[in-house]
Structure 1
Amino acid sequence: MCPHAPADGCRCRPPEPGLILWAAGRLCTPPAGCAVIGDTDAHLEAARRAGARGVLVASGRTRPGTTAPDLGTAVRSLLLGDDPAPRAPR
């Protein structure tokens, strides 16, 4: 989590990729081996900029779009390589 205020202009606050790059370095893992689960477009943009995979989970802050309905679904989609968006019944 970035401890800075939006006006601070830091490199770790989404959509900047600094926090993801730092975490990948601490884990000795390339960013492509990391996953980001967030609830705003800025989180997904930070993942994209870092080269990590991102999944959006719906919350009161999330714009409508392709999201996982909950954290468990987001994690499963990352582990299985599935699309996390809920599907309409056929």
Structure 2
Amino acid sequence: MTGKARIWSYAVPHPPLLPAYAALAPYNTALVELTDAPRIRLAGNVVAKAGAPPNSVPPDRLRIGARVQVVFADQAGFVVPQWVLERP
């Protein structure tokens, strides 16, 4: 798999939020459709670079259909997929 995908859907949560996320708002959560397997969709955040916080990309930069590339980040001992816009 190439790790390429397109944003299928996204949301930008705003306060009030759980206390652990309040300082990050507004941030994004995205559902992406894999280019190599369009029936597979994965959740994650669109970030400026691997390991960046989920609020590192302004919400107005997100678009349904935008091309993204997977990057992986270690968060509290778990490796999670994140997504970087192909055209930042």
**Band the TM-score falls in, shorter-chain normalisation:** under 0.3
TM-score, with structure 2 as normaliser: 0.24
Larger relative strand fraction: 2
Which is greater in Rg?
1
Q: Per chain length, whose mean CA-contact separation is higher, i.e. which structure has more relative contact order (CA < 8 Å, sep 6+)?
A: 2
